[in-house]
Amino acid sequence: MKNFFLTAIAAFCLAVPSVQAADTGHIELPDIEWSFDGPFGTYDRAALQRGFQVYKQVCSACHSMDHLAYRNLSALGYNDDEIKAIAADYSRMDGPDDEGEMFERPMRPSDNFKNPYANEKQARYANNGALPPDMSLITKARVGGANYLYGLLTGYVEPPEGFEISEGQHYNAVMAGHKIAMAAPLSDDVVAYEDGSPTTVDQYARDVSHFLMWAAEPKMEDRKRMGVMVILFLLAFAGIMYKVKKKIWADVKK
């Protein structure tokens, strides 16, 4: 029985890397230094706001964020009036009213982000049959997280000689198989930053990847703070228990 469990554990450990390799197609992802890396990492609020701006002006035309509400933007540093203004840029159907009719109204902070499509069929029709993935949890759904997303957004390069690309597809150095239905969404100067940050593809990719990492794990900072507190408590508790143990055994020896 012991050998069986050891064999099962070994097989599991060997299987995990192979699954990850299959997801990335044996492609080496870029290794970016993010402010949220490590046990004490935190989100950069300026980067988050810039990333939201990139999502709003570029990505939201095709990609939904179904698990995020406008009021969640308070974590990025936006105040209530700013959040109301952001939400009011969009509208949705509501009702019925007192007369039993549906009506269109401006979106509120409590509403989830506006979906660019009414349904899946409309989304596929607008994208040559491809369904744009929801971006709410994209950094958790892809091996490599923010690094994968950054690599994907900056991975649109000329295909090597002899590599065949079908109509409606594009070459991407990071995508598994190097073929992707989405055209390069970013280009220099497509989004104007008010804080003076570079308006380059590299900066856009960093910022929107940062924002989408937060969207997928908005409580990360709280989790890390709690983890540090738990470790400190356990260290203090271990010290107390060591003192108690010494005291008990000292009395036993006497």
User: Tell me, what CATH number does 158's domain have?
Assistant: 1.10.760.10
Q: What is the pLDDT of residues 146-188, one digit of tens each?
A: 999 999 999 999 999 889 888 889 999 999 889 998 999 999 9
Our count of domains for the chain comes to: 2
240 and 204 part of one domain: no
158 and 41 part of one domain: yes
Please check whether residue 244 lies inside any domain of the structure.
Answer: yes
164 and 192 part of one domain: yes
Please check whether residue 103 lies inside any domain of the structure.
Answer: no
Give mean pLDDT, residues 218-226: 93
Q: Do you know the residue count of the chain?
A: 254
128 and 191 part of one domain: yes
205 and 166 part of one domain: yes
Please check whether residue 197 lies inside any domain of the structure.
Answer: yes
Residue 152, domain extent? 25-68+112-218
Give mean pLDDT, residues 79-99: 91
Give mean pLDDT, residues 93-109: 88
Say whether pLDDT at 248 is over 80.
yes
- Predicted TM-score (pTM) of the model is 0.82
Please check whether residue 37 lies inside any domain of the structure.
Answer: yes
CA 150 vs CA 153, 174, 219: distances in Å: 5, 10, 22
* Residue 32, pLDDT score: 94
Please check whether residue 30 lies inside any domain of the structure.
Answer: yes
Please check whether residue 73 lies inside any domain of the structure.
Answer: no
* Residue 93, pLDDT score: 87
∠ CA 29-32-35, nearest 5°, is 145
Tokens of 49: 């706001």
191 and 229 part of one domain: no
Say whether pLDDT at 40 is over 80.
yes
Say whether pLDDT at 19 is over 60.
no
Angstrom distance (rounded) from CA 149 to CA 205? 8
For 217, left (φ over 0), alpha (ψ -120 to 50), or beta? Answer: beta
Say whether pLDDT at 20 is over 60.
no
Give mean pLDDT, residues 62-88: 96
Contacts (Cβ under 8 Å, ≥6 apart) of 32: 146, 147, 150, 206, 209
Say whether pLDDT at 251 is over 80.
no
240 and 201 part of one domain: no
* Residue 254, pLDDT score: 61
Angstrom distance (rounded) from CA 152 to CA 32? 13
55 and 118 part of one domain: yes
120 and 245 part of one domain: no
171 and 196 part of one domain: yes
Give mean pLDDT, residues 82-92: 95
144 and 208 part of one domain: yes
Amino acid in the structure at residue 75: A
Please check whether residue 98 lies inside any domain of the structure.
Answer: no
Angstrom distance (rounded) from CA 24 to CA 30? 12
Give mean pLDDT, residues 192-209: 96
54 and 176 part of one domain: yes
Higher-pLDDT residue of 34, 128: 34
* Residue 124, pLDDT score: 93
Query: Which pLDDT band holds residue 97 (cuts at 50, 70, 90)?
Result: confident
Please check whether residue 147 lies inside any domain of the structure.
Answer: yes
